Amino acid sequence: MKSVVFKIVSSFMALLVLFSTLSFTLDMHFCGDVLVETAIFKKAKGCGMEMDNPVSNTCELTKKNCCSEQQSLICGQDELQISAHEIAVGENVFIAAFFQTYSQLFKTSNNQVSNFTAHAPPMVVRSIYKLDESYLI
């Protein structure tokens, strides 16, 4: 049971370190003021209403594009602290004592302790209940 819990906790901690150091881009496509599509790790496809302004020699008429793209870069943690924090000797003793007493707090005892193990039960000479009974005839 202890090894299973240890494996679960160590896997959780490894995933926590992985996701805290992961960087990714968030690409969003807006059509007007409305968010149409969001993509992670790739470019958003769009809504299909993007306008290509062909350059014509006769007329300089251009239309304003209603679509816009926005990219957000979400940076993960770059530096990890490799060395452990140095703990003073007094703190070490306090932590050890705290964990020892805390672990004893939830320990259950199933041992039935009898205080009469050194004494033998009394000898039964007569059945006392028969002496005190009265019979109706």
In a domain, 79, yes or no: no
Confirm whether 112 is domain-assigned.
no
* Average pLDDT for the chain: 78
Instruction: Let me know: does 27 contact 39? Beta carbons within 8 Å.
Output: yes
Residue 41 structural domain: 23-45+68-74
Predicted confidence at residue 10, as pLDDT, reads 93
Q: Residue range 87-115: average pLDDT?
A: 79
**CA-angle at 30, arms to 60 and 33, nearest 5°:** 90
The b/e string for 15-51 (b: 16+ C-beta within 10 A; e otherwise) is eeeeeeeeeeeebebbbeeeebeeeeeeebeeeeeee
Rounded to whole angstroms, how far apart are CA atoms 49 and 67?
Answer: 7
Selected residue with higher pLDDT from 137 and 34: 34
Can you give the pTM of this predicted structure?
0.39
Which has more pLDDT, 43 or 109?
A: 43
Into how many domains does the chain fold?
Answer: 1
39 belongs to a structural domain: yes
Judge whether 97 lies within some domain.
no
9-61 per-position pLDDT tens digit: 999 999 988 888 888 888 888 888 888 888 887 887 777 666 555 555 555 65
